[in-house]
Structure 1
């Protein structure tokens, strides 16, 4: 009789745990849906951010600052002394130090989360879980944990920190299965800015006249 009661109690405990997990997942998804609705409501977004890469195996850490402009699917990212631009059709990687421009189709197989897609990548392909709430300089940052559904990806998990008041993304922490950790912290988040009409347009003639080597993949 005692073992039967223990079995029933364990089943009830597991049922409660599954129910709480489901509720937390629903709550996390609801918050992400709010963030997504906010993001797509803007004409454009300009963010300044810190980009940190840590490698546990080699015990190394690097940190740089960057800036990104987003308008629908189009983007322009300044990072590591180079520019990456997507005009809706092609991706242009401009490296002034090498005087090179690489033109290629967007990569559908890219798994890692980049500054250009950190505001929308979470919409699909992940399981969600409610995580910790942090106070960051008086701002309440609610974290949601995302686990990729695709087990073949190199990403183990992603923590997405969301400003509870503005519903803007404040921080993204991506942990790889190899032990690498990438952190993107948003320092400035501006919307509906008067961007130049040519911001997402690649002027090939200009770069050729400056002696750049154009590579087409």
Structure 2
């Protein structure tokens, strides 16, 4: 994990936000390097993932309201977050912090620290989206169909090389072609659980949804890397 985090833009100082990014961005670690290790992808799992991925990519924009639970062995703390995205932009709000990618730069906004950090993108921005896992199966994971739970299809992804993640389980509502939940378990048995509580698509969003207005942060320390 350390190797990957050093290559990303500077993340908001708030320690909870750092932990959030560390968990969600873990999927990008596998995609950041080329592995020669053999991976196996179950045909049924691949079909489901490709169908869901195609569905999301066909949308003008998407909106997720989600709960984000963490803990060791079991979830002991839960936060609520929202995520907007287009094929080339996103906005994430969680734990009182905001992160925006306007298609050119990444803006990390910490209300607690009254600080804004601006960084050039390095290709990892898409990792902040829960739907990134839909394409990450293509490299670095062994992927299997793991049955059903509560009417949802379960797909298990296991990294072919140790990256601090033991497994990722995707809960898929196949008829709707949507992700319902993601459970990521670390090698140390730490859990990160994202549960999608509300989903919307193709909304009429304001032109400023994915923009950063410097005038709103006149009392903030603004650092551009």
The alignment's TM-score, normalised by the length of structure 1, stands at 0.78
Larger Rg: 1
Counterpart position of 2:132: 120
Distance of 2:134 and 2:200 partners within structure 1: 21
Query: Does 1:38 find its partner at 2:55?
Result: yes
- The 5-angstrom pairing of residues 4-43 of structure 1 reads 25-43=42-60
Query: Does 1:144 find its partner at 2:152?
Result: no
Structure 2: where are the runs of 5+ without partners?
Answer: 1-39
Distance of 1:71 and 1:158 partners within structure 2: 24
CA displacement at 1:60 relative to structure 2: 7.5
CA displacement at 1:49 relative to structure 2: 0.5
Q: What SS does structure 2 have at the residue aligned with 1:101?
A: strand
Of 77, 100, 112, 1:62 maps to 77
Query: What is the aligned length?
Result: 183
CA displacement at 1:105 relative to structure 2: 2.8
Per-residue Cα deviation, 1:131-186 (whole angstroms, up to 9, x for no partner): 13112xxxx2111001123x141211100000021010000001111221100000
Give the CA RMSD over aligned residues.
2.1
Query: Does 1:205 find its partner at 2:215?
Result: yes
Query: Does 1:92 find its partner at 2:102?
Result: no
Counterpart position of 1:169: 179
Structure 1: where are the runs of 5+ without partners?
Answer: 1-21
Q: Which has the higher contact order (CA 8 A, sep 6+)?
A: 2
Of 8, 33, 49, 2:66 maps to 49
Counterpart position of 2:20: none
Greater fraction of residues in strand: 1
Query: Does 1:214 find its partner at 2:222?
Result: yes
Does the 8 Å contact 2:181/2:193 carry over to 1?
Answer: yes
Distance of 2:192 and 2:110 partners within structure 1: 22
Per-residue Cα deviation, 1:15-63 (whole angstroms, up to 9, x for no partner): xxxxxxx7x801100100000010101000011000001124xx87211
Counterpart position of 1:192: 202
CA separation of 1:30 and 1:178: change in aligned 2, threshold 3 A: same
